[in-house]
Structure 1
Amino acid sequence: MFRKIDRTNTFNDVLKQIIAQIQTGELKPGDALPAERILAEELGISRPALREVLKALSLLGITVSVHGGANYIATDLSSCLTGPLSIIFQMYNSKIQDAVSLRGALETKAAYLAAQNCSQLDAAELQLIIAKLDSTDDETLRSDLDRDLHFKIAQIADNPLIFSVMNASSQLTENMIVGIRSHFMQKDEDSPEIDSQHTRLVAAITANNPSLAEQIMSEHMQTIERLLKEITE
């Protein structure tokens, strides 16, 4: 399954092989890697050297280690940037507003691209999420639906880099302030503004109007930044 590698560049060579096998479908999310002894033999490296590579892959979120030493390809590779982004965030003593600003830049571009790509099926799925948001006061459900809406827009944009970094920045924000999304989605004085932005955003995307979708998403993310500033200061 694996070929012997150049020991002068162990990590990069192992990484390239694993990525290549994910791309070809030989390795799928959730698949187990061969046992350490077998994998080390196939790659032609020592088990200690292999363990260092596996630790790095785990830090990157590409693999997951479980009790007993088994290593698996992560089931959600779209989240693999969360760990590295968190490290960069800490290194530069960044503030939560920095993460939200990053997410805002990505979300506005995603909205633009989604409006270009939106199919009738995509439009129906977006409108269903909006209908569910309008019909419930449940804070937890509204939080989940808000997440679904933003991720669906990013998926329609069809740019895996935007999706992955946006997902990581969103996770980073929610890790720092637990329940932040639920807080914003409560049915209170801010809810009509956010709900209106969601509705207008979906209308622009489903009408295939990229400029308007980008404008409304920018307005929406500015609202989120304003509300975040109010609760953190």
Structure 2
Amino acid sequence: MFKKIGDERAFNGILNQIIDNIQNGKLKAGDALPAERTMAETMGVSRPAVREVLRALELLGIIKPVPGGGNYITENLDTWLIGPLTILFKLNNGYLKQNQQFRAALEREAAILAAKKCTPLDAAELWMILDRLDSEEDEKTRGELDRELHTKIAKIADNPMVYSVLAAADQLTDNIVSGTRDYIMRKNNSSKDIDEQHHRLVEAIINNDVEQAEHCMSEHMDTIERYMDEMQKECKPEGKRI
């Protein structure tokens, strides 16, 4: 699985070999990596060098260490991007509007893919979330169900990259959806327009209507961005980037 490292820097050589083994299937989700000493001897590097790479991969969410039990490839490789992307979004925290625009583009793509791939089981789960949204009176819980609906659409899309980026964006803007819904409720005494958009979106997805799904998600994202702009204009501190 591993071989002697040539002229490249030890860190890069170790990292590249681990990633290559994941890509070619020699290392799969849940597999244990060889012991640090074995890896160091096989690649002709020091144990601290191996440990440095393993620590970096742990921070990225690719490797999960078990105290006294070695290091394992994460069980869910589809979500490993969430960690580094969350850090990136947090570093860009001042530009919430740009992050929302980027997220909107991914939400539209997720809706398109979901409309192509939605199964009867997926449709039932989407309707179940909508039913809970319709019957729930607590606005905080409705905000959580709103996020759950968008997460389900991203999962139906069945694209790990799209799902991971959206999940990372969610962790940064965790309070935006519920905050926006609160603002809409204060302004309109109702979130009827958002709820109706959700219904049209779900109907398009379960009917495998790609064009309508894209249109509905675009309309929904435009509405969210408009309300976010209004919120930020009302409470933006001096010098705050939007």
Q: TM-score range by the shorter chain?
A: 0.7 to 0.9
Match of 2:239 in 1: none
Write the mapping of 1:47-126 to structure 2, written as runs, cut at 5 A. Answer: 47-64=47-64, 71-89=71-89, 95-126=95-126
Match of 1:4 in 2: 3
Residues 5 and 13, structure 2, Cα contact 8 Å, conserved in 1: no
Residues 32 and 70, structure 2, Cα contact 8 Å, conserved in 1: yes
Alignment of 1:180 onto 2:181: no
| Structure 2 counterpart of 1:37, one-letter code | R
Encode CA deviations 1:91-138: one digit per residue, 9 max, x unaligned: 667501111111100000110121112121211111111111111123
Over aligned residue pairs, what C-alpha RMSD do you find?
A: 3.1
Of all paired residues, the percent bearing the same amino acid is 47
Residues 36 and 47, structure 2, Cα contact 8 Å, conserved in 1: yes
Match of 1:14 in 2: 15
Aligned pair count?
Answer: 227
Residues 81 and 164, structure 2, Cα contact 8 Å, conserved in 1: yes
* Cα distance between partner residues in 2 of 1:225 and 1:140: 20
| Structure 2 counterpart of 1:103, one-letter code | R
Match of 1:158 in 2: 158
* Cα distance between partner residues in 1 of 2:32 and 2:210: 42
Write the mapping of 1:7-46 to structure 2, written as runs, cut at 5 A. Answer: 7=6, 8=8, 10=10, 11=12, 13-18=14-19, 20-21=21-22, 24=25, 26-29=27-30, 33-46=33-46
- The range that moved more, 154-163 or 61-70, is 61-70
Q: Secondary structure at the match of 2:173?
A: helix
* Cα distance between partner residues in 2 of 1:130 and 1:170: 19
Q: CA deviation at 1:197?
A: 1.0
| Structure 1 counterpart of 2:117, one-letter code | N
CA, structure 1 residues 95+66, in 2 after alignment: closer, same or farther (shift >3 Å)? farther
Q: CA deviation at 1:203?
A: 0.4
Structure 1: unaligned runs, 5 residues or longer: none
Write the mapping of 1:192-231 to structure 2, written as runs, cut at 5 A. Answer: 192-231=192-231
Greater Rg over alpha carbons, structure: 2
TM-score (norm 2): 0.77
* Cα distance between partner residues in 1 of 2:52 and 2:113: 39
Q: CA deviation at 1:63?
A: 2.5
* Cα distance between partner residues in 2 of 1:41 and 1:208: 54
* Cα distance between partner residues in 1 of 2:17 and 2:171: 26
CA, structure 1 residues 70+120, in 2 after alignment: closer, same or farther (shift >3 Å)? same
| Structure 2 counterpart of 1:206, one-letter code | I
Alignment of 1:143 onto 2:143: yes
Residues 29 and 76, structure 2, Cα contact 8 Å, conserved in 1: no
Q: CA deviation at 1:34?
A: 4.3
Q: Secondary structure at the match of 1:198?
A: helix
TM-score (norm 1): 0.80
CA, structure 1 residues 66+112, in 2 after alignment: closer, same or farther (shift >3 Å)? same
